[in-house]
Structure 1
């Protein structure tokens, strides 16, 4: 982990995956936005290559050689957006740290507004998109994720948990203390502070290529949020168990009373099988939920790392100089 640099006002962390053709334009726009804000020489751009299968890392190395403000990190294996972001946060040195995507849907010229919002006394500044450019299923999934976060994490109402955000140095220092292998960044942030604000930004179309964010990744993100920062799913499983026990008892009473009142009461095979399958499904769901928690605890106890750094542009230690970080 790097020590904060008093001369750096802003660090910008960008996880990179399949964006080799976008990165030169991203660097250009960030440089121009920082110059317009009067931050020349007082910012850094950290590009974290999440083991991208394209030429992202050679492009990052080339850009870093020509721009003193750019620092690149190459991860040995793909760990996902949130873990790659944590890798960048470990090396961010600015007073304020911003996080943005690599596809230029997040406008770099909004960074100044985010910094000013934090200077008004807030700890975290999220962004509200004025015109979402995502597909309908992803927007629906984001709304569901937002609804769940309000109930599981105590997210302030009216704040959208976007991936484009800025944090104070003190919040970053608390967030990177987390050493679990399954990282959900917004859960970590909301565990530390509720002094959160938001600014409006224009959500732009992707500059090039296609999004790699799939429905499976969206479900995985929800699972991280639900099982890493709340015991509510386990509590719901307990409530469901009590409910099923009560319904079963009621059914037993009903069957016994019906049999006494009418000895010829027919035995319903279909209803019996339906009840068995329903109860078996509930039990399997609850056991799976418990297994998810136990699995995450097992991997953490075994020391599974959040990310493994292969090399960086400022050291280029090569294959024998990798850094393993939990």
Structure 2
């Protein structure tokens, strides 16, 4: 069985079409059944009513209504807790993910690869040309560079919103209980058998994107601080470097003053150094504070998601917070 997890936000006009296309595509392979887990991320439009109507007619569609908006990755984590399929597909609610290419995406997981190491565990769509704005493309590029560095990701591997993973990867992903999930990093933490499948991203035909700069920055911070202490090590290295430079500059100043007492004290250069070094110190303190703050919030058991209600979900699986 294939479980499709759809995070829903401002998509009352498109999410029904996405579910209809999922039914049509799965029907192409009679040996497969499907489950849809639609997570309403506290959307302000009528998407919950649309999902409720669909779920009442189709018991294979489960609806989870979140009590507050937590973002796409938190909604996906919520859906993972209720996905029961052998394969778990992440797909967006705006029709931009090419659902008609599902079997191309799943093929590396269903058949052994040519390298003799069996099938892949995760497959991710790689779009040759993205339809989002230049600003978002730049943000995606920065996020990719950071992920490559922090997660030791293959530079040729690209992330997107359309992907599929095996059940054991999902089971490993949901062991992460902190309130700042980053799905790409969690998948790479579980397995390195990940492959890209080239395809074309569709152009949005209904509505507009609602992924703000604040949410993009928050996601970037999740990837930056959740899986590595490399930023702290860089902060330590910069601190040591500036301490050594300060000692050398101090020695040079003393020697020059002893050799030529007439040399005036450099007020402007001193202020420039002070301002720069102070700025670096504040940056390092902020970075350390970010780590400490996230640890504090995690220790307080802040939930990844809070569920208000569910439809077509067994009562024993119903949860009000993250594991």
- Cross-structure match for 2:48: 57
Moved more, 22-31 or 277-286: 22-31
- Cross-structure match for 2:82: 91
1:292-307 superposed matches below 5 A: 292-307=290-305
- When residues 39 and 23 of structure 1 are mapped into structure 2, their CA distance, relative to the original with a 3 A threshold, is farther
**Match for 1:290 among 274, 288, 291?**
288
1:45-84 superposed matches below 5 A: 45-84=36-75
RMSD (Å), alpha carbons: 1.5
- Cross-structure match for 1:183: 181
- Cross-structure match for 2:129: 131
Measure, in 2, the Cα distance between the counterparts of 1:10 and 1:86. Answer: 17
Measure, in 2, the Cα distance between the counterparts of 1:290 and 1:221. Answer: 18
- Cross-structure match for 2:116: none
Distance apart, 1:39 and its partner CA: 5.5
Distance apart, 1:19 and its partner CA: 0.6
1:1-326 superposed matches below 5 A: 9-38=1-30, 42-120=33-111, 121-314=119-312, 323-326=320-323
Residues 192-240 of structure 1: CA distance to partner in whole angstroms, max 9, x if unpaired? 1100111112100113111011222222111101100010110000000
TM-score for the superposition, normalised by structure 1: 0.93
Residues 102-123 of structure 1: CA distance to partner in whole angstroms, max 9, x if unpaired? 1111011121122221123101
Q: Residue 27 of structure 1: SS of its match in structure 2?
A: helix
Q: Residue 307 of structure 2: SS of its match in structure 1?
A: strand
CA contact (8 A) 1:311 1:322 kept: no
- When residues 97 and 322 of structure 1 are mapped into structure 2, their CA distance, relative to the original with a 3 A threshold, is closer
CA contact (8 A) 1:125 1:198 kept: yes
Measure, in 2, the Cα distance between the counterparts of 1:92 and 1:113. Answer: 21
Moved more, 64-73 or 258-267: 64-73
Distance apart, 1:169 and its partner CA: 0.4
Distance apart, 1:68 and its partner CA: 2.8
- Cross-structure match for 2:115: none
Moved more, 184-193 or 26-35: 26-35
Distance apart, 1:171 and its partner CA: 0.4
Gaps of 5+ in 2: 112-118
Measure, in 2, the Cα distance between the counterparts of 1:110 and 1:37. Answer: 13
Measure, in 1, the Cα distance between the counterparts of 2:154 and 2:101. Answer: 22
Measure, in 1, the Cα distance between the counterparts of 2:86 and 2:233. Answer: 40
Measure, in 1, the Cα distance between the counterparts of 2:206 and 2:72. Answer: 18
CA contact (8 A) 2:181 2:222 kept: yes
Q: Residue 321 of structure 2: SS of its match in structure 1?
A: strand
